[in-house]
Structure 1
Amino acid sequence: MSNTTLSAGDPIEARCTKCRKNSDHIIVTMEEEAPVKVQCKTCERQHKYRPPTAPRKPAVRRVVDPKVAERKEWELLRPSMKTAEATDYSMTSAYKVKALINHPVFGLGLVQRLAGSQKVEVLFEDGKKTMRCK
């Protein structure tokens, strides 16, 4: 049978204030049935007893799929788009930001930004596409 009562000189696990981690300690002083002062076996520093802390869970990073974000953006913008105002896509045409275009393959699209000379980034229902223009 194990002895459950603690006394000075017994080993105990505690949080060391110098090492900043849970480590083995020796009880130096007791008050009633609880340790008051302990000495770290690693750095040999005496300090007030602090119970060991639970290990932290690593932060979970959520990976956002760009296609999902683009789909949500499309769903938000779609009600405000007027199909009648869309111009047919042509590589020889010039486009401005927020212009509506109608592509023969991708369908209705909204120009998001000018992506360098002779290129525009267009948001379609399937996602963003870089299109050639004048």
Structure 2
Amino acid sequence: MPNKKIAVGQPIEARCTKCRANTEHVIVTLLEEAPLKVQCGQCERQHKYRPPSVPKKPSVRKKADPRVAERKEWETLRPAMNSDAARDYSMTGAYKVKSLINHPVFGLGLVQRVVGARKVEVLFEEGKKTMRCG
């Protein structure tokens, strides 16, 4: 890319300190072949040359994974759980909050809340599951 020779009076794109935008400017003074002072073409204000700003990429906010919080909760509750006191899970069984159950697939779980008449929410090592009950 060839270097263009710049001179006083030439147009140049710069960031205007008053308009707060990249606008067309005119070079007023130079210092060692670099623009020192420019004049905005919109507001006609003279100021130091500031190169045009690059637009920022919009930040993408990542949602927190609920499984991470559930795993931390599991890790804090696990030491207090007595696996010998856990009942085997049955879809016809009745469960109360803080009951320990032993599921054949998910393993040891703690009933977190009763959801309606026939469902409970259980915290297992791999996360919360809604289970059917009697």
Is 1:30–2:32 an aligned residue pair?
no
What do the CA deviations read for 1:38-58 (whole angstroms, capped 9, x no partner)?
A: 123xxx222334432233233
Alpha-carbon distance between aligned partners in 2 of 1:37 and 1:25, rounded to the nearest angstrom: 6
Deviation of the 1:63 alpha carbon: 4.8
Alpha-carbon distance between aligned partners in 2 of 1:32 and 1:109, rounded to the nearest angstrom: 73
Q: Secondary structure at the match of 2:113?
A: strand
Alpha-carbon distance between aligned partners in 2 of 1:126 and 1:87, rounded to the nearest angstrom: 19
Alpha-carbon distance between aligned partners in 2 of 1:12 and 1:117, rounded to the nearest angstrom: 73
What do the CA deviations read for 1:80-124 (whole angstroms, capped 9, x no partner)?
A: 32212222223331321x321112332210112222332111111
Alpha-carbon distance between aligned partners in 2 of 1:73 and 1:124, rounded to the nearest angstrom: 10
Q: Percent identity?
A: 54
Amino acid in the other structure paired with 2:36 = P
Cα–Cα, structure 1 residues 2 and 129, in superposed 2: closer, same or farther, change >3 Å? closer
TM-score w.r.t. length of structure 2 = 0.69
Alpha-carbon distance between aligned partners in 1 of 2:80 and 2:21, rounded to the nearest angstrom: 57
What do the CA deviations read for 1:64-84 (whole angstroms, capped 9, x no partner)?
A: 444455444433432332212
Conserved? CA contact 1:88–1:103, under 8 Å: yes
Amino acid in the other structure paired with 1:12 = I
Conserved? CA contact 1:95–1:133, under 8 Å: no
Structure 2 unaligned segments of length 5 or more: list them.
Answer: none
Q: Secondary structure at the match of 2:78?
A: helix
Cα–Cα, structure 1 residues 115 and 46, in superposed 2: closer, same or farther, change >3 Å? farther
Cα–Cα, structure 1 residues 80 and 68, in superposed 2: closer, same or farther, change >3 Å? same
| Aligned residue in 1 for 2:40 | 39
Cα RMSD of the aligned pairs, angstroms, is: 2.8
Structure 1 unaligned segments of length 5 or more: list them.
Answer: none
> What does 1:95-110 align with in structure 2 at a 5 Å threshold?
95-96=96-97, 98-110=98-110
Q: State how many pairs are aligned.
A: 126
Alpha-carbon distance between aligned partners in 1 of 2:71 and 2:110, rounded to the nearest angstrom: 13
